[in-house]
Amino acid sequence: MSEKKFRIRKPQSSNKTIRMPDHMIDRLQALANSYDISFNQLVVQCCEFALENMAELDKK
């Protein structure tokens, strides 16, 4: 049986200022609050989902 080793990873990230409509910020913040996650975490997850699904559409 192979032994798994614990590895600490630090994902590389950068700061980027973006502009979005106030109504979208309000909706995203409310959703983040309801799931007890940060606004940033939610936006990253939304972007990841959109990019993954866009790639699937491009393949068709």
Looking at residues 34-42, what average pLDDT do you find? 95
Residue 40 lies in a domain: yes
Q: pLDDT tens across 1-22, in order?
A: 678 888 888 878 899 999 999 9
Tell me the pTM: 0.71
Looking at residues 19-47, what average pLDDT do you find? 96
Give the residue numbers spanning the domain of 44. 36-60
Total domain count for the chain?
1
Residue 8 lies in a domain: no
Q: Given this model, what pLDDT does residue 59 score?
A: 63
Residue 49 lies in a domain: yes
Using an 8 Å Cβ cutoff, are 44 and 55 in contact?
Answer: no
Reported as half-sphere exposure (CB side, CA atoms, 13 A), residue 59 has a value of 6
Q: Is the pLDDT of residue 37 over 80?
A: yes
Q: How far is it, in rounded angstroms, from Cα 39 to Cα 33?
A: 8
Q: How far is CA 27 from CA 18, 19, 49, 50, in A?
A: 16, 15, 17, 17
